[in-house]
C-alpha cells in the first residue's frame, strides 16, 4: 500500500488542516448531541458534571491536536519507532 503523500507546500497544509478542523467540529457536534440524548435518557450523569465536560473537551480537541501534529511534524514518527 502506498503511503499518503502530503504536499510540501505550507499553504496547502494549512488548507488541509483548516478543512479537517471545520469538518471535525461539525461531525463531533453531531456525535456529542447524540451522546447527550442518550445520557439524558439514561439519567446516569447530569450534564453539568465535570467528567462529562472533560470527555467532551477531549473528544473535540484531542483529534484536532493529534491531526495537526501529524500533518506538520509527525509523518515519520511511526517509522522512527519501528526501526
Q: Is residue 5 part of a domain?
A: no
Q: What is the pLDDT of residue 23?
A: 94
Domain residue limits at 33 = 10-77
Instruction: At 63, give phi and psi (nearest 5°).
Output: -65, -35
Q: What is the pLDDT of residue 80?
A: 55
Q: What is the pLDDT of residue 60?
A: 85
b/e code 15-37 from CB counts within 10 Å (16+ = b)? eebeeeeeeeeeebeeeeeeeee
Q: Give the pLDDT means over successive 10-residue stretches in the chain (83 positions).
A: 71 90 89 78 65 76 88 65 56
Domain count, the chain: 1
Q: Is residue 65 part of a domain?
A: yes
Q: Is residue 71 part of a domain?
A: yes
Q: Is residue 2 part of a domain?
A: no
Q: Is residue 3 part of a domain?
A: no
Q: What is the pLDDT of residue 3?
A: 66
pTM of the model: 0.67
Q: Is residue 68 part of a domain?
A: yes
Q: What is the pLDDT of residue 39?
A: 72
CA gap 49, 47 in Å, rounded: 6
Amino acid at each position: 500500500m502506498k503511503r499518503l503523500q502530503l504536499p510540501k507546500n505550507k499553504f496547502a497544509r494549512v488548507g488541509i488542516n483548516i478543512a479537517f478542523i471545520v469538518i471535525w467540529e461539525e461531525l463531533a457536534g453531531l456525535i456529542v448531541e447524540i451522546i447527550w440524548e442518550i445520557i439524558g435518557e439514561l439519567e446516569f450523569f447530569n450534564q453539568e458534571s465535570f467528567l462529562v465536560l472533560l470527555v467532551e473537551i477531549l473528544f473535540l480537541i484531542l483529534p484536532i491536536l493529534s491531526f495537526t501534529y501529524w500533518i506538520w511534524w509527525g509523518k515519520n514518527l511511526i517509522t522512527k519507532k519501528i526501526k
